[in-house]
Amino acid sequence: QVQLQESGPGLVKPSETLSLTCTVSGGSISSYYWSWIRQPAGKGLEWIGRIYTSGSTNYNPSLKSRVTMSVDTSKNQFSLKLSSVTAADTAVYYCARERRGVRGVIDYWGQGTLVTVSS
């Protein structure tokens, strides 16, 4: 059974860069798209972007200028960086796996990690 676990600082200062890592266990990271999705408290889901194990990326057009994703297949990890954060970036951040062969379908999710942007 594939498991995903987010890790990173729970508190980030405004204007700084949010950095999160997702560790995948129970299966190989290879040959899948890996995604980041966030959810502000009491609000809906927002897709941030995805990365293939080759390093190819797709980002949400509304966040594209601030997002960078990377993957480390040797560690079975992938990462998110979101620059110039504001209070509006406060949310639970989920890492997730896209189901193979079906575009945009998330079949495995991490438990989520709360990131608060505050000074």
SS3 of 105, please?
coil
What gap in Å lies between CA 105 and CA 76, rounded to an integer? Answer: 20
Asked if 112 touches other proteins (CB under 8 A), the answer is yes
In the complex, the smallest distance separating the C-beta of residue 13 from other proteins, rounded to whole angstroms, is 27
Identity of the residue, 81 or 106, whose beta carbon is nearer to other proteins in the bound complex: 106
Task: Single out the residue of 2, 30, 72, 107 in contact with other proteins (rule: CB under 8 A).
Answer: 107
Question: Which of these segments, 7-15, 24-32, 55-63, 72-80, binds other proteins (CB under 8 A)?
Answer: 55-63
In the complex, the smallest distance separating the C-beta of residue 101 from other proteins, rounded to whole angstroms, is 10
For the four alpha carbons of 98, 101, 104 and 105, in that order, the dihedral sign comes to: negative
Sorted by sequence, the CB contacts under 8 Å of residue 89 that are 6+ apart come out as 12, 18, 38, 82, 115, 117
Under the rule (CB under 8 A), what is the footprint of other proteins?
35, 44-47, 49-50, 58-61, 64, 94, 99, 102-107, 109-112
